[in-house]
Amino acid sequence: MKIDNALSAFLALSQDTRLKVFKILVEYGATGTAAGTISDRLGIPHNTLSFHLSRLTESGLISSRKQGRSMIYSANCSAIEELIGYLKENCCILEEDCDTDCKTQATSKKQKEKKS
């Protein structure tokens, strides 16, 4: 992943509503869900949601398809994996300091603190 793509993804996720929309779409996986479902879950107007969905689509983090009269949105798993890969490759200097399992990392830190 190029830095411009990573920046676009982070910019899209840096807004509260878009992050919530993204989280919902990740929950639905590749199946996705209709924009109306997202609007109902978040309690936001359709036109506001449309703006945020456009930003997420432009970033490549989500995709859409027409199904009947509805637009179905879904998380773009390959883009998410690329973003995670970018973080691992560019932000994790030492492999031991980049444990991707948060629970393991938190446990390790607590154990180190107890020994001190």
- The torsion angles phi and psi of 63, rounded to 5 degrees, stand at -135, 165
Question: Which two tokens mark 23?
Answer: 């989280």
All domains of the chain, ordered by start, with CATH? 3-115 (1.10.10.10)
pTM above the 0.85 mark? no
Question: Residue 70: CA atoms inside 13 Å, Cβ hemisphere, count?
Answer: 12
Note the pLDDT tens digit of each residue in 55-112: 999 999 999 999 999 999 999 999 999 999 888 888 776 655 565 555 444 444 445 5
- Whether 64 and 50 have beta carbons less than 8 Å apart is answered as no
Percentage of residues in the chain having pLDDT higher than 90 = 66
| Spatial CB neighbours of 55, under 8 Å, sequence gap ≥ 6 | 12, 15, 18
pLDDT band at 48 (very low <50, low <70, confident <90, very high): very high
